Structure 1
Amino acid sequence: MEKWITTAPIPEDYFRGAVELETTGQGTLPHRLPASARAQTTDPQLLMAESQPSGVRLAFRSRASALELELIRSRTTFSGLRPRPDGAVDLVVDGQVHDSSATGGGKTTTIDMATGTLSEVADGTWTIRFDDLPEGTHDIELWLPHNERIELIALRTNAPLEPTALTGLPVWVHHGSSISHGSNATSPTAIWPAIAARLGGVELTNLGFGGSALLDPFTARAIRDMAADVISLKIGINLVNLDLMRLRALGPAIHGFLDTIREGHPETPLLLVSAIYCPIHEDTPGPGAFDLESLAAGELRFRATGDPAESASGKLTLRVIREELDRIVRERSKSDPKLHYLDGLELYGEADYAELPLPDALHPDQATHRLMGERFARLAFAANAPLSPAGLSPAALPPAGLPPSAPH
């Protein structure tokens, strides 16, 4: 009988990309916002999003030929729509994606789109197993599902393991919306920030929160207090599709968000990124809503409900926000030379939409995640790019012809 070594609970020094770990009655729950921030919001969307471990991974070194990860997942599905794919745990060996395995069991909450009622099914723990790891001692990472809440119960290996020493690579803290969170990506290493981090030679801490890139002061304070060598903020789409504020409030809110981060990172390279191309909100304000005709056909699509004429009175569109972000960075960079702006249309623009349309009119598909990750790596991390200052020595990237992402 195979002899297993059980690590439970999993020690803190095995985690990468988590902001805080919570000990539950069953295991360890990674968080991407600290308790101090979570205490300042009652928004269930944000609380769900930050507890989904996008970009969080376990990192250890071992000569194990097989391993198991026992976990409890929590996921949300919608009745009447095509079932959402299960989450996945990706196995990375010596920096290369080696295998991937779907999650199961746990708690599933189903939302009836017609009535808004909820139903729940609980089905216990789930064990992910990977066999046939390469012979010898290797650096191993287990990337946790980006789109499911995960409590980790135990890690089992058939050989001793130890936490991987810190790489010494620059730490990249990135904040953004559901697109940065990884919506519609097929696996945790296939979200665009993970692709960009791998190509750019940086360690990712992903603060992409679905529906929640809203300039919340507690998020700025969390970033202020984190270790970071480079920082990027992708702002725009959630402000529009939640119809959160008007142009009068946007400028001061952006300044305040940046001021707070600068309290802890006065000279850290910081890249402010605007939204990618999204036709429904380019010139039409929010709020966004479900497209009811598509829902009736069993498909999830979004639409804008505002009136384009309302932008004249201060309602926000993506075009308006891009102009404001550009203006703010041009003004602030006179006294803050390490603050930079990247137009999101350079990551995904109108021509890209013609070739790779957004399947639900809002979120990119997997091919577009790959495209965005490769472009961001070139535009942000290549030699002389905004997040590649002297002294950090990230991987030099050519101006074109980026290598393809690792297979999944």
Structure 2
Amino acid sequence: MPLLTTPITADLVRGALELEPTDAGLLPHRLPAWARAQVPEPQLLMAESQPSGVRLCFRTAATTIELDTVPTKRVYVGVPPRPDGLYDLVVDGELVDQGSVPGGGAIVIDMTKGTFKDRPGPAGTLRFADLSPADKDVEIWLPHGETTVLVELRTDAPVDPSPGNGRPVWLHHGSSISAGSEAAGPTTTWPARAATLGGVELVNLGLGGSALLDPFVARTMRDTPADLISVKMGINLVNADLMRLRAFTAGVHGFLDTIRDGHPTTPLLVVSPIWCGIHEDTPGPLMPATDADGNVRFEASGDPAETLFGRLTLRVIRRELARIVAQRSDRDPHLHYLDGLALYGEADAARLPLPDDLHPDAATHLLIGERFADMILGSGHVFDIA
């Protein structure tokens, strides 16, 4: 039978804040156009267009589903090729299949020079077959680290937008760790795993290399509907050696003030960095290196003695975030703090070391997600969703 084509419209897409029409199709964004225009920096634009947490959601009796997309792979100069990004097929809440779209375009990144070059490519097709003919809720989670233009959806039965499930919306902002760097797939990034276990709808504003207390991110969060909000901050500020303690303190207050302008009583959680040995006591900037096998590793290049003059380390940031939240919570009873070491600490690092000395591996993403769900999303905890 010929497959039916269903136009991809906003009511089929969750987790994106904007869908940009392009010549090829619709490009999901996790920051709106006005925010992207303020700092059109290649790292940020790449990170926000990577659809971590973005998924197609619909109800259908289809046994065959095809999705045409134009993926943009990441190619790092001098580094072994990365595997193609995975699309996770979730049916009635269960992961039942995975697939990839080969080919597509690429963004070629030279970390030693800080350059980004686009290499266009054609669309490809993702295909899932032999599904149950019963009516079912289908989610196709897009590759969390692969910019993806949505071109065409085809099925062998009609498609309707999924009805609302009534789950609370969890809005989260963080770094590449929150975006899912090195996770096994889009449903096993730690926020996606936590959202599944905790019964919430995820809007993931994890931005690789770009969790920098940017005011436009705070304003985006202010204007985005949410029942639960969390902000995980610190690692990118140390990586980039972007500011000193005085500016960090003011920046955190300003970021939280802006969120509160739109969400005055929404439960708001501040999460400090997980363990990262290279930056616990050594400031940035972060420098890339390669090991004997050509794999990327990272090193901290700052001087620990300069913390006396306000340079940031992870220990400094955890201490200051705890102090800021304690100070503000006297007048903001819905503001809470979580020490990131409770999600992944020094003892965890001995058992599950960071492969590149910066990012958790796939197993650690699951661990962090499970701990967050247990400590934060369960009934009676910070985000009481029962």
Under TM normalisation by the shorter chain, which class is it?
over 0.9
Q: Which residue in 2 is equivalent to 1:193?
A: 191
> 1:133 Cα shift?
1.0
Gaps of 5+ in 1: 394-408
* Post-superposition CA distance 1:20-59 (Å, at most 9, x none): 1111111001100011111111211111100111000010
Q: Which residue in 2 is equivalent to 1:47?
A: 45
Supply the RMSD in Å over aligned alpha carbons. Answer: 1.4
> 1:190 Cα shift?
1.1
Q: Which residue in 1 is equivalent to 2:296?
A: 300
Shift in alpha-carbon separation, 1:122–1:251, aligned structure 2, 3 A: closer
Q: Which residue in 1 is equivalent to 2:274?
A: 276
CA distance in 1, matches of 2:114, 2:28: 29
- SS of alignment partner, residue 170 of structure 2: strand
Residues 261-272 of structure 1: pairs in structure 2 closer than 5 A: 261-272=259-270
CA distance in 1, matches of 2:201, 2:340: 22
Amino acid in the other structure paired with 1:34: P
* Post-superposition CA distance 1:162-212 (Å, at most 9, x none): 000111100000000000001001211110000000000000000000000
Q: Which residue in 2 is equivalent to 1:401?
A: none
Are the aligned partners of 2:144 and 2:179 in contact in 1 as well (CA < 8 Å)? yes
CA distance in 2, matches of 1:222, 1:331: 25
- Which of 309, 313, 319 is equivalent to 2:309? 313
* Post-superposition CA distance 1:245-279 (Å, at most 9, x none): 00011111000000000000000000000000000
- SS of alignment partner, residue 231 of structure 2: strand
CA distance in 2, matches of 1:243, 1:100: 38
* Post-superposition CA distance 1:127-149 (Å, at most 9, x none): 00000112311000000011011
CA distance in 2, matches of 1:120, 1:270: 38
CA distance in 2, matches of 1:114, 1:288: 12
- Which of 329, 340, 347 is equivalent to 1:351? 347
- Which of 233, 239, 242 is equivalent to 1:241? 239
* Post-superposition CA distance 1:337-386 (Å, at most 9, x none): 00000000000000000000000000000000000000000111112111
* Post-superposition CA distance 1:101-123 (Å, at most 9, x none): 01211112334567777766544
- SS of alignment partner, residue 196 of structure 2: helix
- SS of alignment partner, residue 324 of structure 2: helix
- SS of alignment partner, residue 373 of structure 2: helix
Shift in alpha-carbon separation, 1:246–1:116, aligned structure 2, 3 A: closer
CA distance in 1, matches of 2:371, 2:234: 19
Residues 357-396 of structure 1: pairs in structure 2 closer than 5 A: 357-388=353-384, 392-393=385-386
CA distance in 1, matches of 2:242, 2:127: 44
> 1:75 Cα shift?
1.7
CA distance in 2, matches of 1:114, 1:249: 28
CA distance in 2, matches of 1:375, 1:242: 28
Q: Which residue in 2 is equivalent to 1:87?
A: 85
Q: Percent identity?
A: 59
Instruction: State yes or no: 1:25 paired with 2:23.
Output: yes
Amino acid in the other structure paired with 1:347: L
Amino acid in the other structure paired with 1:336: D
Q: Which residue in 2 is equivalent to 1:398?
A: none
Amino acid in the other structure paired with 1:5: L
CA distance in 1, matches of 2:137, 2:205: 25
Amino acid in the other structure paired with 1:257: F
CA distance in 2, matches of 1:265, 1:117: 38
Q: Which residue in 2 is equivalent to 1:210?
A: 208
CA distance in 2, matches of 1:42, 1:18: 19
Shift in alpha-carbon separation, 1:382–1:29, aligned structure 2, 3 A: same
Residues 334-349 of structure 1: pairs in structure 2 closer than 5 A: 334-349=330-345
> 1:323 Cα shift?
0.3
- SS of alignment partner, residue 311 of structure 1: helix
Q: Which residue in 2 is equivalent to 1:396?
A: none
Q: Which residue in 1 is equivalent to 2:3?
A: 4
Q: Which residue in 2 is equivalent to 1:159?
A: 157
CA distance in 1, matches of 2:221, 2:261: 10
Shift in alpha-carbon separation, 1:118–1:193, aligned structure 2, 3 A: closer
Shift in alpha-carbon separation, 1:116–1:297, aligned structure 2, 3 A: farther
Question: TM-score, structure 1 length as denominator?
Answer: 0.92
Question: TM-score, structure 2 length as denominator?
Answer: 0.97
CA distance in 1, matches of 2:137, 2:164: 11
Gaps of 5+ in 2: none
Are the aligned partners of 1:105 and 1:122 in contact in 2 as well (CA < 8 Å)? no
CA distance in 2, matches of 1:106, 1:279: 37
Amino acid in the other structure paired with 1:360: D
CA distance in 2, matches of 1:114, 1:303: 13
Q: Which residue in 2 is equivalent to 1:404?
A: none
Shift in alpha-carbon separation, 1:118–1:32, aligned structure 2, 3 A: closer
- SS of alignment partner, residue 212 of structure 1: coil
CA distance in 2, matches of 1:377, 1:116: 36
Are the aligned partners of 2:42 and 2:116 in contact in 1 as well (CA < 8 Å)? no
Are the aligned partners of 2:70 and 2:121 in contact in 1 as well (CA < 8 Å)? no
- Which of 321, 326, 332 is equivalent to 2:322? 326
Are the aligned partners of 1:285 and 1:311 in contact in 2 as well (CA < 8 Å)? yes
